[in-house]
Amino acid sequence: MTEQLRHQEGSNLVHGPRMQRLTKAMELAIHGVRKDCNLERFANSFPQLARDNSKALSDAHQLTMQFFESSTMESFKELAQQRDIVSKLNALDALLEKLQTSTHSQQSAPVSKKRPCPDQVAASYRYNIKKLERDRLMVKLSEAKTCTESQLDQIEAKQKRVRILMHELGEKKNLAVPIPTAQFDSQGNIDVNAV
């Protein structure tokens, strides 16, 4: 990590990898703005100056872009200093490096029974969660089976009752006096011709 660190100009803080990347991202953003605000677009903003004195326009564009770049970087450095970003990112770098080295040492060293590695802890939690989920689903399945069996019993009882009623109705129909059938017309009146 020490070969990745560099000193900031006029500062005693050392830039770690994350601060270097943040600074590089800021520089790329400024470069993108400079690229978007080229001389041609600048000339479109000042057409009179572009026609009268293109050299003055070019100088104004260059000075504007230099001012933008220097003031933006200065504001970035002030903000980083006010919020103590350099030391916070360096602390994050150190913490991540420490975590990475401890992970490598845990992978190479045999796992003791006293202190399980993070992968084992995560696996045991996943196992417990899956087991609870399976148990919950088994209870739900059991309830669904019970409900289905109850409904099937009710359906069978109703079918049996319908069969009994149909049988009784058939016996009564055979004993009863035949009822003449009547037909009705479309208005609900008895059709005399059909009788």
Question: Which three-class secondary structure state does DSSP give residue 14?
Answer: strand
What percent of the chain lies above the pLDDT cut of 70?
75
9 pLDDT above the threshold of 70 = no
Residue 186, phi then psi, degrees to nearest 5: -65, -15
Cβ neighbors of 1 (< 8 A, separation 6 or more) are 16, 17, 93, 94, 97
CB-based contact 77:10 (threshold 8 Å): no
- C-alpha span between 112 and 110 (Å, rounded): 6
pLDDT tens-place string over residues 57-105: 889 889 999 999 999 999 999 998 888 888 888 888 888 888 888 766 6
- C-alpha span between 11 and 18 (Å, rounded): 17
Give pTM, 2 decimals. 0.43
Q: Supply the pLDDT for residue 48.
A: 87
- C-alpha span between 74 and 176 (Å, rounded): 110
Task: Output DSSP code: residue 1.
Answer: -
- C-alpha span between 106 and 118 (Å, rounded): 9
In DSSP notation, 129-155 reads HHHHHHHHHHHHHHHHHHHHHHHHHHH
Give me the sign of the Cα torsion angle 56, 58, 59, 65: positive
Q: Supply the pLDDT for residue 107.
A: 63
157 pLDDT above the threshold of 70 = yes
pLDDT tens-place string over residues 100-149: 887 666 666 555 556 778 777 778 888 888 899 999 999 999 999 999 99
CB-based contact 34:62 (threshold 8 Å): no
Q: Supply the pLDDT for residue 2.
A: 34
